[in-house]
Amino acid sequence: MAKNLEDLEDKNTKVIVRVSPVSEGDLEEVYQIELECFGRDAYPKLVFNYLLRNPRSIFLKATIDNILVGFIAGLCHRDECLLYTLNVKKDFRRMGIGSILLEALEKKALELNMKKIVLQVEVTNSPAVNLYLKKGYSITRMIKNYYGYRRDAYEACKLL
């Protein structure tokens, strides 16, 4: 898989995925994808406004033929990046887009001299858990009721 941040190609599907920073004009579409992926658990719009304006954030979008198909957002502090969210539109899943976005975030985190990436993922979200494990993340602990009553999370991290 190509590592260029500008144009990344998933060799399995022969789709060109363009990764670039999220702009202010993307915020409504980003929020709609967040709602599609997380429904009532979606972050409010103001979180995305904050991430867009924070110089310590990594906020990237994936596009195919100029269609925004997913995004990833993390916030860096000291020497670690907290991955806030990774979203791919339902019709574009299982095409490698999540992997491409995760690799792009990791590359940017390295450029910012981050030493590790930390994330939380719902225990029942098998596709996401499997993606993170495949990409070298280690589950460090389980957090009871993180997403609400009886909705536990794994905390995972990857050293860069």
Residue 101 lies in a domain: yes
The residues facing 130 across adjacent strands are: none
Statement: residue 53 has pLDDT above 50: yes
CA distance 56 to 81: 9
Statement: residue 11 has pLDDT above 80: no
Residue 55 lies in a domain: yes
Report how far apart, in Å, the C-alpha atoms of 151 and of each of 1, 87, 120, 122, 123 are.
Answer: 35, 19, 12, 7, 8
The residues facing 70 across adjacent strands are: 62, 88
Length of the chain: 160
For residue range 114-150, list pLDDT tens digits in order. 999 999 999 999 999 999 999 999 999 999 999 999 9
Domain that residue 66 falls in: 7-113
* pLDDT value at residue 144: 97
Residue 58 lies in a domain: yes
Residue 13 lies in a domain: yes
Residue 96 lies in a domain: yes
For residue range 13-38, list pLDDT tens digits in order. 577 999 999 999 999 999 999 999 99
* pLDDT value at residue 15: 76
Q: What CATH number is associated with residue 35?
A: 3.40.630.30
Residue 41 lies in a domain: yes
Residue 139 lies in a domain: no
Domain count for the chain: 1
Q: What letter represents residue 23's amino acid?
A: S
Statement: residue 12 has pLDDT above 80: no
* pLDDT value at residue 6: 47
Whether the Cβ atoms of residue 52 and residue 24 lie closer than 8 Å to each other? yes
Residue 23 lies in a domain: yes
